[in-house]
Amino acid sequence: MPPDVPLINDRLVLWVVSELHLLFAAFVLGSPIFIVISEILGVRTRDARFERLARETMRIVAISYSLTALFGAAMTFVLVARYQTLSNFIFQRFYPIFGLYATFIVVETILMYAYLYSWDALERRKSLHISIGVALNVVGTLVMFLMNGVGSFMLTPPSSPDRARLWELVNNATWTGLNLHRFIANIAFGGFMVALFAAFMYLTSRKEEDSAFYDWMGYIGNFIGVAALIALPVAGYIYTKEIFAYNATISTLLMADKLAWFFVIQGTMVGLLFLGAGYYMWLSIQRIKGGPRFRTYFRGVFWVALIGLIIWLVPQNFLPSLTTKPAGPIGEVAIPEKAIFLGLMPAKGLAVSAIILVTAFLYLLYRQAIATGTMTWGRIDTKAQLTLTFLPAMAVYTMTFMGAVRESARGEWHIFQFMADKSAESYLTPLGYAATVSGLITVIFFLLVSGIFWLGFKVGH
């Protein structure tokens, strides 16, 4: 760190509060999607567990909602107080969008509390209750789309940001990609957070009935997380392609220059998410009658996923940027000539596709084992519950870390090639620093979420 950068500065404060706001926002926006689906499944299958899952998750969402607002207000405060030129421009150009945003937030809040507190009152009018839930999701998604318009605008603004029409500002080159990516990522994130909650509750439960329920809930959370995770790389690819089409130099910075090693770390985390999800299924299958007969297939899948992950992560070189001159011969730190294909996108794409496909295959095997055997809920290996702790750790860390990458992609610009960042902290943060800050944010988020679980479900019980 340069000597003139204090330990805590405006940029760091904005970074931390923005990420915490976005993490809670992702949770309160992503979870209601499957909460409503769970409620619908409860009505259709008459399985009371779906109803309980929906209800308990909604309670966590409600508590998280206030923290989302709190960090959102803190973010706005820092922006207005310390980044006046930028916030003035953004608020003026997007004034109608912020007006709509505020309106939708009010509507969303009303719908959220109506959905939560009318559960018993509308016990006999389920379709009305579900309709409120669906409306909550529609409004929540619109809120996200509106703010994605502002966020994506900063990276890919139209040609004349000060004169462009409002729709051109919002519907910028990467709005669609960001919407799609965040929508799917929020569902994955919500799923893994439910799994974390279930693991927390399972490990601290003393009743067999609760253990059985939270074991099942963890299974559902992992299922939602994995299902969305499988689709996520496709959305990520679309988003990156939009960035590339907008300005190839951003992609160069991201994939070949200073931020290239950030993607090695991101690949590590995403790969661990896939392997972790697979390991949970491996442990889960052990307690299914007849399940162990699938173990050979599982081992094969782990081999493919592991090799795929290694190919995905093999770096093209060990240089921090494209312009770094190696200390020794280039052959020491760059991939050898005849193995160069390992460092190129076709190999990476194939490796990622293989990981996705084998994970999907693993899930089909898992479903087959459940369909043909007898599952004993509440008697799972404790390691499976610890794996459900590991998965959200990786999911949250990946989100915070990739948030840093997305912001870094603008380089020294507040608004790309339009408004320069002239603050004292206008620099690209090196990988280690970005990862450390992201790790700290992840830990803070985890502590806050643990507090919510504890206050909401343990204190007084």
Partner 1 sequence: MRLIITTMAIIVAIWLIPFVLSDESGLKFGWPYSVFFTLATLFGGFLFYLLRMPPMGPFTSSRRAIGSVVLVFLVSIGIITLLANVSPQFAFEGAATAGATAEERGKAVFNDPKVGCFLCHTVQGAGGTRGPDLTHIATVAANRKPGMSAQDYLKESLENPGAYVVPSFDNIMPPVAKALSPEAFSDLMTYLKALK
The footprint of partner 1 on residues 222-261 (CB under 8 A) is 247, 249-250, 252-253, 257-258, 261
Is the CB of 164 or the CB of 334 nearer to partner 1?
334
At closest approach, how far in Å is the CB of 414 from partner 1?
11
Closest to partner 1 by CB, 78 vs 196, is 196
Q: Cα(228)–Cα(14) distance, rounded to whole angstroms? A: 29
Q: Kindly tell me which residue out of 91, 418, 427, 457 binds partner 1, with binding defined by CB under 8 A.
A: 427
d(CA 201, CA 395): 19
Task: Mark 119-129 as b/e (b = at least 16 C-beta within 10 Å).
Answer: beebeeeeeeb
Burial of 141 (C-beta count, 10 Å sphere; 0-12/13-18/19+):
buried
Q: Which token pair is 301?
A: 């899948």
Looking at the Cβ atoms of 84 and 204, the one nearer to partner 1 is 204
Closer Cβ to partner 1, 97 or 270, answer by number: 270
Q: By C-beta, is 31 or 429 nearer to partner 1? A: 429
Which residues 360-419 are close enough to bind partner 1 by CB under 8 A?
Answer: 381-383, 386, 389-390, 393-394, 397, 411-412, 417
- From the list 31, 26, 35, the residue with the least C-alpha distance to 130 is 35
CB of 110 to partner 1, least distance (A): 35
Window 57-116: residues binding partner 1 (CB under 8 A): none
Q: Which stretch binds partner 1 (CB under 8 A): 12-20, 52-60, 366-374, 438-446?
A: 438-446
Measure CA of the first residue to CA of the last residue in the chain; give whole Å: 48
Separation of alpha carbons 292 and 282, rounded Å: 9
**Residues facing residue 288 across a β-bridge:** 375
- Closer by beta carbon to partner 1, 43 or else 335: 335
Q: Using the rule CB under 8 A, which residue among 98, 302, 418, 457 binds partner 1?
A: 302
Q: Which is nearer to partner 1, 131 or 417 (CB)?
A: 417
Block residue for tokens 């009303």: 110
C-alpha 111: how far from chain center = 24
Report the Cα 233 to chain-centroid distance in Å.
12
**Using rule CB under 8 A, residue 446 touches partner 1:** yes
- Give the residue with the Cβ less far from partner 1, 91 or 302: 302
Nearest Cα to Cα of residue 358 among 280, 278, 420: 278
Nearer of residues 32 and 308 to partner 1, judged by Cβ: 308
Site string for partner 1, 304-343 (x = CB under 8 A): --x--xx--xxx--xxxxxxxxx---xxxxxxxxxx----
d(CA 369, CA 92): 57
H or E element at residue 106? helix 95-117
Binding residue count for partner 1, defined by CB under 8 A: 82
Q: Considering only residues 66, 92, 103, 436, which one is a binding residue for partner 1 as defined by CB under 8 A?
A: 436
Among 17, 53, 198, 199, binds partner 1 (CB under 8 A): 199
Residue 412 to residue 426: CA distance in whole angstroms: 6
Q: Which residues make Cβ contacts (< 8 Å) with residue 242, sequence separation at least 6?
A: 156, 173, 174, 176, 177
Nearer to partner 1, 198 or 230 (CB): 198
Residue 341 C-beta: closest distance to partner 1, Å: 12
Provide DSSP, 349-385: HHHHHHHHHHHHHHHHHHHHHHHHS-B-TT---HHHH
The answer to whether residue 293 forms part of the interface with partner 1 (CB under 8 A) is: no
Question: Closest distance between partner 1 and the C-beta of residue 240, in Å?
Answer: 16
Nearest Cα to Cα of residue 146 among 174, 179, 168, 177: 179
Residues numbered 118-177 forming contacts with partner 1, rule: CB under 8 A: none
Tell me how far, at minimum, the Cβ of 211 lies from partner 1, in Å: 8
Which residues between 3 and 32 bind partner 1 (CB under 8 A)? Answer: 5
What sign for the dihedral angle of Cα 190, 404, 97, 81?
A: positive
Q: How far is the CB of 145 from partner 1 (least distance, A)?
A: 29
Q: How far is the CB of 59 from partner 1 (least distance, A)?
A: 20
Residue 284 tokens read as 């889960």
Which one among 87, 176, 268, 368 touches partner 1, defined by CB under 8 A?
Answer: 268
Query: Which residue, 124 or 325, is less far from partner 1 as judged by CB?
Result: 325
Evaluate whether 137 touches 36 at the Cβ level (below 8 Å).
Answer: yes
Interface with partner 1, residue 208, by CB under 8 A? no
